[in-house]
A and B are shown apart, each in its own frame.
Chain A
């Protein structure tokens, strides 16, 4: 029965990875770039929430509310000042600039907040510790279930936004062909800025769950980026619901690896990722031919 429990815990963990991954998938889907600072932006969001909690004694979930608009603005500003410029010069330069940004964010966080490892689990109150016991060996943690629920809600919201709203249609059109979209009156730069703003704000939500479920520190970003990227690739690059499936596969692989030996947890995730890469289709919901 411990195996069943591992799978359940893995699915719940997958929710957090999907939250981390969907911003990455959105930016890749719209602009064909991978933001190497995505994990650091999630950690930055966690620190912002911590700062809010230092001033007001509220639940971290409430503290997220003022952080979200700040992150939207950061994402927007990032796109307008840096990424737009880098997009013009092929695939190399966006990778290099976002990698530079990642180093800058990490070290600014280190300067401001010291290298201490922190967690917001204590601030979250009962929800961080309570769980439903299904049987002796199976239990579902409240925060895990909430994380998965929020992931599904965010993905569903994104899906609705992309399919039903004017801004969403513009985004899909720009993703398919920015030049043609501009011909029919879409401002591609504004669309890109919106996409990055949304992606960065979702990263902050992921940062909240990271901070409550486990710990964070200034250099926690790269590991989160790798997990997010693995979820995106296992799910098939750029597919939103695929990212959820990829996150769950990664989460289950990690919890089962941890069951064998705690030091195998992350390794198991990496090996599943490499195995998926090696498979002929290269992703669960892959549209390899279509996306490249």
Chain B
């Protein structure tokens, strides 16, 4: 039996991901503004899904309130721009601000488990939305737009927004990739599978969860700031809306909870559905909800997780795999390694 991290497939897949990231940087030079806007929204979805997956899939923390950070990231950007910051620098600082807020907040909400954490975070998001809508300088309840971006031409604006979003997605996915491959990654998966057992073998459970919580806050803050840059207008009820959580849950459940690649697949699926059917209004949302239920009940591992389980294929080398050397049934070994 051989324990290995890299296979031929995962080596080429990692190379491909690297090449894809570089290729995506050249999109503004080739494609028009409409395509860039669409791709930006897809990248934001990838970022949100990956952050939610980091929390739920690796930390076991199901949050119904990540829109708190999405909203704070967007409104933080508006606030900084009102104080004469360069808008793109403001977006980065606003994301960092979300990370900063999440540290003290984690001491409050991480005392909760399961559903209590889920709705506790929701209350935090609701409270943040009300506080923001009470502030007249942020446009109160009626919303506000990022007028500072008007100093750029539309094509400059879309270029910068696209590049910054791409940069953030690469940064956060890269960070997750490195973290999951480190000692931390194994300890997080141990926490997800059995918290008490993990603690009993010396895993620092709370510290691990806190790190994931802060990373997810940073990432969601960045996603919120980039949503503002891409749509130019926000209002408290929509940017702090629980719809974002609905989308994140859909993407992660459909793609594959607790896998690195799953949320990316889920984001692409949601993106395609949104482009195809979002005009059919009510039934589109009914379908999204029903699909989330169906996946949760029938394919709880999602598209990617099921594929990995059935075929034993590992594309991104974030875990270890066992390879048979002699007369061992490979399928049983791989299954055993997963569970």
Contacts and interface: CB of A to CB of B under 8 A. Distances in A.
B277 interface: no
Interface string A93-119: 101110111111011101100000000
Contact of B130 (A93, A233, A270, A277): A270
Interface string A24-66: 0000100011101000000000000000000000000000000
A85 B299 CA distance: 12
Main secondary structure, interface of B, reads helix
B113 A292 contact: yes
A226 B293 contact: no
Contacts of B16: none
Contact of A104 (B115, B124, B289): B289
B253 interface: yes
Nearest to B127: A270
A89 interface: yes
Contact of B115 (A89, A95, A110, A230): A95
Interface stretch (B33-41, B147-155, B278-286, B316-324): B278-286
Nearest to B285: A107
A274 B134 contact: no
B297 interface: yes
B300 interface: yes
A165 interface: no
Contacts of A89: 300
Contacts of B111: 277, 282
A274 B297 contact: no
A93 B297 contact: yes
Interface in B40-59: 56
B118 A93 contact: no
Interface string B282-309: 1101101111110011001000000000
- A32, A100, A266, A271: which has the most chain B beta carbons within 10 Å? A100
Given A92-B56, A104-B286, A292-B113, A34 B297 contact: no
Size category of the binding interface on chain A: 35 or more
B235 interface: no
B119 interface: yes
A96 B108 contact: no
Contacts of A111: 282-283, 286
Interface of B: 56, 60, 62, 64, 108-109, 111-116, 118-120, 122-124, 126-127, 130-131, 133-134, 242, 245-246, 249, 253, 257, 282-283, 285-286, 288-293, 296-297, 300
A91 B242 contact: no
B286 A233 contact: no
B113 A85 contact: no
Contact of A233 (B116, B127, B242, B257): B116
Nearest to B253: A96
B290 A100 contact: yes
- B124, B126, B131: which has the most chain A beta carbons within 10 Å? B126
Given A226-B123, A282-B111, 15 more contacts: A34-B118, A82-B293, A95-B115, A96-B249, A97-B296, A99-B292, A100-B290, A100-B292, A100-B296, A104-B290, A108-B286, A226-B126, A263-B134, A267-B127, A270-B126
A95 B65 CA distance: 13
A95 B62 contact: yes
A108 B64 CA distance: 22
B286 A266 contact: no
Nearest to A265: B130
Contact of A277 (B64, B118, B120, B133): B120
Leading 3 A-B pairs by shortest Cβ distance: A34-B115, A103-B289, A100-B292
A278 interface: yes
A107 B289 contact: yes
Contacts of A230: 123
A101 B124 contact: no
26 contacts: A28-B115, A32-B114, A34-B115, A34-B118, A36-B118, A82-B293, A91-B62, A92-B56, A93-B300, A95-B114, A95-B115, A95-B118, A100-B289, A100-B291, A101-B293, A103-B246, A103-B289, A104-B293, A111-B283, A230-B123, A263-B130, A263-B134, A267-B134, A270-B130, A278-B108, A292-B113
Given A100-B292, A111-B286, A230-B123, A277 B108 contact: yes
A103 B126 contact: no
